[in-house]
Amino acid sequence: MTAVQRDHRSQVFHAGAWCDAADATVPVGGLALRYGVSVFEGVRLYRRADRSGVRPFLLDAHVRRLGYSLALSRIPDPGIDKIPELVDDLVLRNGIDDDAYLRIAVNAVNPGLMDAEVEPALTISATPMGRKRWLRDGAWEGMRLQVSLWQRACDLAFPSAAKGIPNYGGPRLALLDAKAAGFDGCVLTNAAGRLCEAPTAALFLVRDGELLTPALTEGVLPSITRRWVLDRASALGLTARETVLGRIDAYQADEAFLCGTGLEFAPVRSFDGHAVRAWPDSPVTRALVGRYFEEVRS
Ligand SMILES: Cc1ncc(COP(=O)(O)O)c(C=O)c1O
């Protein structure tokens, strides 16, 4: 068992110092718990192919997005430029030598009313994390998704580009309802009824060999894995387009998948019981997944 697996005793950077995970707490009276003044990033640490250690995947992009989330949420910068060296330190202190998930959070830890000035605390922790069920041990399991009746909060309600705790309340309910109805997960729509994203992952459809994903203006998080897919498409001989998609596009997809840092990739086999046509061959999805794991281990 590696140090990081002994979760409560693993070393965590919290509010300017290193401590045991069990001691990294935020006060119940603080603004993070009172009003959800809290933003975060999830970053994957991948073991290198030659087992010479781990490296964070696309850390710069995650730090940049954390900066945008802080600014959009009017939370002062607690010193996020130090994150790369803190991550290196975290890896050493915990002896991390295999795939893991970093959570980098900024919480408002001071008490006060809603309009109080914010005292931000940066927390960085790691948990072991390999493949999820959909790809675990070479599996190719497809998700049965529901197109949820719950909507993703639109930019008039909350900035969708901010990866903040308040953005997850509705999607959590959508996921619980989808599971209670027998689905594996769901896709939320926006106020116009168009497809957005899953509670914690971006959505892609494939139609006539083309990759399609809802545009950022549809109210989705600017996902870093989504960006990676868009950037790699041409190297795989594919075209990719950010566009506007409806429920019927999902019902008529040749292929579909969800992607995100924690989930990595999950192929989709149906939407509301409508089978995705090329499941389980899913050649485009398989090509992207293959390319992803080559790259993250390189
Ligand atoms: C709402 C939401 N959309 C999409 C994603 C995927 O984003 P990324 O690829 O940057 O992890 C996530 C995961 O963090 C998310 O929480």
pLDDT at 36 over 80: yes
Q: What would the pLDDT profile of 15-31 be if each residue is shown by its tens digit?
A: 999 999 999 999 999 99
- 179 is annotated as an active-site residue: no
Sequence-distant contacts of 134-139: CB under 8 A, at least 24 apart: 134/263, 134/265, 134/266, 134/267, 135/264, 135/265, 135/266, 135/289
Give distance in angstroms: CA of 262 to centre of ligand 1: 8
- What is the average pLDDT across 146-156? 94
Give distance in angstroms: CA of 264 to centre of ligand 1: 10
Q: Whose CA is nearest to atom 4 of ligand 1?
A: 201
pLDDT at 1 over 50: no
Q: What would the pLDDT profile of 43-74 be if each residue is shown by its tens digit?
A: 999 999 999 999 999 999 999 999 999 999 99
What is the chain's percent helix, strand, coil content, to nearest 5? 35, 30, 35
pLDDT at 5 over 70: no
Q: What percent of the chain has pLDDT over 70?
A: 98
Band of the pLDDT at 187, cuts 50, 70, 90? very high
Identify the pLDDT of residue 2: 53
Catalytic annotation, pick one of 82, 132, 163, 179 = 163
Give distance in angstroms: CA of 162 to centre of ligand 1: 11
Q: What would the pLDDT profile of 214-273 be if each residue is shown by its tens digit?
A: 999 999 999 999 999 999 999 999 999 999 999 999 999 999 999 999 999 999 999 999
The residue type at 220: V
CA–CA distances in Å: residue 251 to residues 158, 191, 207, 276: 29, 20, 11, 7
Residue 297 structure tokens: 């281990």
* Phi, psi dihedral angles at 66 (to 5 degrees): -60, -40
- What is the average pLDDT across 78-97? 98
pLDDT at 113 over 50: yes
CA separation for the pair 195, 187 (Å, rounded): 7
Atom of ligand 1 nearest to the CA of 65: 10
pLDDT at 181 over 50: yes
Band of the pLDDT at 177, cuts 50, 70, 90? very high
Half-sphere exposure (Cβ direction) of 183: Cα atoms closer than 13 Å: 22
- Give the pairing of strands 255-260 and 202-207: antiparallel
Band of the pLDDT at 7, cuts 50, 70, 90? low
Average predicted confidence (pLDDT) for the chain: 96
Band of the pLDDT at 6, cuts 50, 70, 90? low
Q: Whose CA is nearest to atom 15 of ligand 1?
A: 200
For the chain, list the domains and their CATH numbers. 3-128 (3.30.470.10), 136-297 (3.20.10.10)
Q: Pocket residues for ligand 1 (CB within 6 Å)?
A: 42, 197, 200-202, 221, 223-226, 260-261
CA separation for the pair 15, 221 (Å, rounded): 27
What's the sign of the alpha-carbon dihedral 222, 99, 136, 207? Answer: positive
pLDDT at 8 over 80: no
Cβ pair 37, 76 in contact under 8 A = no
Give distance in angstroms: CA of 112 to centre of ligand 1: 30
Identify the pLDDT of residue 168: 96
